[in-house]
């Protein structure tokens, strides 16, 4: 059974939202401090401070976002895909947390809003994936597609301005990616359920550097698109 975070009292309440028109935690008392666009099939990095909320938006339509995270003060403490999968489940939504790798094993982000409306699936397909690893240059070479854009290089592009090496890139949280594992253990994906304007909000539990890739793979659908990124903070 996936770990279920305890609900906290009013002072530490996890704001929640699932409807398309809901604002999640971002009503009165919040202000936008950053707005940027990740170009199609490219990567970008951004700092998210503790208590801020980063919103990942499918601004043009369905598009998978590969999400890496690092402790801003100690980048050796990075997102732990496998451990988060064990603690929270294979697919994440409101209330789930993203955990850092050992030896720290601390919450890095809490998901506080998710507007994607899941289409029913008899196979158990769900959005926001922790099953698949990031695509990379060598994988595309093996598939006969040398030179194909890939998430490994995109995520490295995002952290390069912050003087982190490409070797710091790790397996991602695949926002908007709809996946499942078959009875024989084979993993597969279908086109995302996300529609234009859908978003996920993640609240930072520590100061983080986030790297984002607008995934150039087929999991994003037949057409690759840009991603929108907004950061909000409480008004003091």
Low-confidence ranges of the chain (pLDDT < 50): 1-24
Handedness of CA 9, 49, 109, 219 (dihedral sign): positive
pLDDT digits (tens, 9 = 90+) for 1-27: 332 333 333 333 334 444 333 344 577
Within 10 angstroms of residue 74's Cβ, the number of other Cβ atoms is 12
Q: Would residue 204 count as lying in a domain?
A: no
What is the Cα gyration radius of the chain? Answer: 17
CB 194 within 8 A of CB 112: no
CB 202 within 8 A of CB 175: no
Q: 137-176: string of b/e by CB count within 10 Å (b at 16+)?
A: eebbeeeeeeebbbbbbbbbbbbeeeebeeebbbbbbbbb
**Angle value at C-alpha 24, between 204 and 92, nearest 5 degrees:** 60
Q: pTM for the complete prediction?
A: 0.89
* 125 closest CA partner among 189, 49, 199: 189
Q: What pLDDT does residue 210 have? A: 99
Q: What pLDDT does residue 26 have? A: 74
Q: Would residue 113 count as lying in a domain?
A: yes
Q: Would residue 116 count as lying in a domain?
A: yes
Q: What pLDDT does residue 200 have? A: 98
Host domain of residue 146? 36-197+210-226
Q: What pLDDT does residue 25 have? A: 57
Intra-chain end-to-end CA distance of the chain, in Å: 39
pLDDT digits (tens, 9 = 90+) for 161-176: 999 999 999 999 999 9
Q: Would residue 25 count as lying in a domain?
A: no
Task: Give the total number of structural domains in the chain.
Answer: 1
């Amino acid at each position: 059974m996936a770990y279920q975070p305890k609900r906290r009292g009013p002072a530490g309440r996890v704001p929640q939202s699932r409807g398309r028109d809901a604002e999640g935690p971002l009503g009165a008392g919040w202000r936008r401090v950053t707005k940027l666009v990740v170009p199609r099939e490219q990567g970008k990095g951004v700092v998210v401070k503790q208590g801020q909320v980063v919103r990942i938006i499918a601004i043009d339509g369905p598009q998978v976002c590969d999400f890496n995270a690092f402790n801003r003060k100690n980048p050796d403490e990075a997102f732990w895909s496998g451990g988060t999968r064990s603690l929270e489940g294979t697919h994440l939504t409101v209330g789930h947390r993203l955990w850092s790798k050992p030896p720290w094993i601390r919450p890095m982000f809490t998901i506080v809003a998710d507007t994607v409306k899941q289409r029913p699936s008899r196979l158990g397909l769900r959005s926001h994936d922790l099953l698949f690893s990031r695509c990379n240059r060598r994988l595309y070479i093996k598939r006969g597609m040398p030179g194909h854009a890939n998430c490994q290089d995109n995520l490295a592009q995002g952290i390069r301005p912050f003087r982190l090496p490409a070797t710091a890139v790790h397996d991602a949280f695949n926002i908007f990616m709809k996946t499942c594992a078959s009875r024989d253990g084979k993993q597969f994906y279908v086109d995302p359920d996300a529609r234009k304007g859908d978003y996920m909000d993640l609240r930072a539990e520590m100061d983080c550097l986030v790297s984002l890739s607008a995934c150039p793979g087929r999991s994003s659908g037949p057409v690759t698109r840009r991603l929108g990124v907004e950061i909000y903070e409480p008004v003091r």
